[in-house]
Chains A and B, each alone.
Chain A
Amino acid sequence: MSLARRTDWAEEEDDDSPQALPQQQIIKNKDGTETIITYAIREDGKKIKTTRRIKKTVIKQVVNPRVAERKHWAKFGQDKGKPDGPQTDTTSVAENIIFRPVSNWKASTEDKNEVEKKKADLKGAKIKCRICSGDHFTTKCPFKDTMAPDGEPTPAEMPDDAPQAGGAGGGSGSYVPPHLRGRGGAGEKMGGKFERDDLATLRVTNVSEFAEEQDLRDMFSRFGHVTRVFLAKDRETGRAKGFAFVSYADRTDAAKACEKMDGYGFGHLILRVEFAKKPTT
């Protein structure tokens, strides 16, 4: 704003009418370019100053006299009285497009490029199963139900693997957090020692909260040799939480028990018995 001489700010506010806009300035620079400064008032009442620096290049073109004549035609219709040159409201320049014809252009080269790039990225990154270290996703691993991920020894492996697992983490190279190192060796996992054959373990749910481990052992030992009974108990009240694991020495016994005991009424509830781990065959 070129109204610096005025000192009274209140007065300035009143007199600041659109007529006070400075004239358009065109400055010819030494390097042959021109600087055009225009002022305008925006819709919200704010003054804007636009500074454009342009370089004019004269390109001579020989055209038909008819064409040359038409260039000087007066504008008409909506453009009547508008100045020469393209108007910014109707004409603009779009972003540059590179067009280069090629002989073996494939219908979806551009589409494929993006998809293939992603695929190539994935190829570079090797897929490694955390369970068996094979080249598939962990969820697709054929051993995912029988083996725990590398570095987290399965209950079944624990007694054997404990010494190695204590070190850098199972020798698989993957990082094992300190609190998991040597786990299993101390046997501090719930239920202590696990039966080796996981497939012969039943999960019993909907157990009465007054149930005792001994009750379950009595009930389930009717079908075969029970190696372990684990009844989850609340640490504070000492009452059963409502689920238990029963392990058999033999899988056929477990199957028999599962069949017979599922839906058995115990206490005031009906038991639900199923295999703790789905058999993988």
Chain B
Amino acid sequence: MRPILLSGHERALTQVKYNPDGDIIFSVSKDHVVCAWFSHNGERLGTYHGHQGALWTVDVDPTSTLLATGGADNTMRLWEVKTGKLLKTWDFPTSIKRVEFSADGRQLLGVTEKRSGHLGTIVVYEIDPDPEAEQTDEQSLRIVCEDSKPTVAGFSYLAHYIISGHEDGTVSQWDAKSGELLYNAQVHEPDMLITDLQWAPDRTYFITASKDKTARISAADSLEVLKTYTTDTPLNSAAITPVKEYVILGGGQAAMDVTTTSARQGKFEARFYHKIFAEEIGRVRGHFGPLNYVAVHPQGTGYCSGGEDGYVRVHHFDKPYFDFLYEVEREQAQEQANL
């Protein structure tokens, strides 16, 4: 496995994302620029300029025509993927920590930061998928989180629910139509920030990563914790791989503690766990700072990670990755072959 190193950013990466076809990777970093890259060879397609502050989040719509970003300049922006043209800017009183399109690309969700008297909110906009169209300024839904600040959020299957992760380690389930709080569950340790929420391909369950050094898979309907993956380092990101039943976790010591430890102790590795057996099966090293985000190729052929060190590393999996089977899995496959 020979990783491709993307060094287009000058500051720490905050999020990286594949488009649904997996041919383009979008990366955002604290240096105010969004980059688009071809995933197969690491060629940079272009950059999107306009943000005035650090960028926290990026997402692309299902047809790869629209790109949404949010950042510390208190704006959420919509871009045309193909040309890098800025289509729309929404202004907010505080910064945007997370954006996500719904599975059909008709709705865009944004999570705003809780700061200077403003409560953390989750806002939803209706999106016209035509890049020429005028986008609405009107929020179709606005959820104000009075209890705890939301850090991450996403749409469940069929945009039934909005699931949000909070800074106190809880996960909330909201009705995506009415904005009503349906259920709240303490998924992670109390007062441990949830740093990431990523969906399984069918959006019926999701994985959350937390500073409490664990990642957990929960069901979207019941918020029941299905699996727990325990590590020895605070986690910044977790992703579920299609094709093979694995999860990839990324983390490392907080950026402020890094200078006091060596890279070996910093645990700046992508950790692979078996999704079902919740056992660690391997690690991929390479970054020399904490991993801020890991994203998996939608077809499961590779993954990329964005690190505090300012690099994106794109990996294409080798044969051993696909060949690996547990003893029980191998027996099962044997039985099925015999039938």
Contacts and interface: CB of A to CB of B under 8 A. Distances in A.
Given A103-B327, A105-B279, A79 B45 contact: yes
A66 B42 contact: no
Contact of B84 (A76, A93, A102, A110): A76
Contacts of A57: none
Interface string A133-162: 000000000000000000000000000000
A70 B1 contact: no
A73 B45 contact: yes
Nearest to B7: A90
A91 B7 CA distance: 6
A99 B321 contact: yes
What 9 A-B pairs have minimum CB-CB distances, sorted nearest first? A77-B47, A76-B46, A91-B42, A101-B281, A101-B324, A76-B84, A77-B46, A86-B43, A90-B8
A20 interface: no
Contact of B49 (A63, A77, A96): A77
B48 A91 contact: no
B284 A94 contact: no
A100 B320 contact: yes
A193 to B, nearest CB: 59
B46 A78 contact: yes
Interface residues of B, number: 50
Interface in A62-119: 63-64, 66-67, 70-71, 73, 75-80, 82, 84-87, 89-105, 107, 110-111
A67 B40 CA distance: 11
Contacts of A82: 44
B232 interface: yes
Contact of B41 (A86, A98, A104, A107): A86
Given A70-B64, A94-B5, A101-B282, A107 B45 contact: no
Contacts of A91: 4-7, 37, 41-44
A76 B67 CA distance: 15
Given A82-B44, A111-B264, 7 more contacts: A64-B21, A67-B23, A86-B41, A86-B44, A93-B5, A99-B282, A99-B320
B23 A90 contact: no
7 contacts: A70-B24, A75-B45, A76-B84, A78-B33, A90-B8, A91-B5, A101-B281
A97 B45 contact: no
Interface of A: 63-64, 66-67, 70-71, 73, 75-80, 82, 84-87, 89-105, 107, 110-111
A107 B282 CA distance: 9
Contacts of B324: 100-102
B4 A102 contact: no
A97 B46 contact: no
Contacts of A102: 281-282, 324
Nearest to B329: A103
B285 A97 contact: yes
A75 B23 CA distance: 15
B313 interface: yes
Contacts of A96: 1-2
Given A71-B38, A100-B282, A94 B313 contact: yes
A76 B282 CA distance: 38
B22 to A, nearest CB: 8
Given A97-B1, A99-B1, A99-B282, A75 B46 contact: yes
A90 B7 CA distance: 5
B83 interface: yes
A54 to B, nearest CB: 14
B292 to A, nearest CB: 18
A97 B286 contact: yes
Given A66-B21, A85-B41, A87-B44, A93 B284 contact: no
A145 to B, nearest CB: 41
B177 interface: no
A104 B281 CA distance: 7
A212 to B, nearest CB: 64
Contacts of B64: 66, 70
Contacts of B232: 107
B318 to A, nearest CB: 7
B321 A77 contact: no
Interface in B268-295: 272, 274, 279-286
A73 B280 CA distance: 40
A45 to B, nearest CB: 27
A126 B232 CA distance: 36
B282 A93 contact: no
Contact of B326 (A77, A80, A103): A103
Contact of B320 (A79, A93, A101): A101
B118 interface: no
B115 interface: no
B5 to A, nearest CB: 5
A84 B45 CA distance: 9
B3 interface: yes
A104 B280 CA distance: 8
Contacts of B313: 94
A98 B38 CA distance: 23
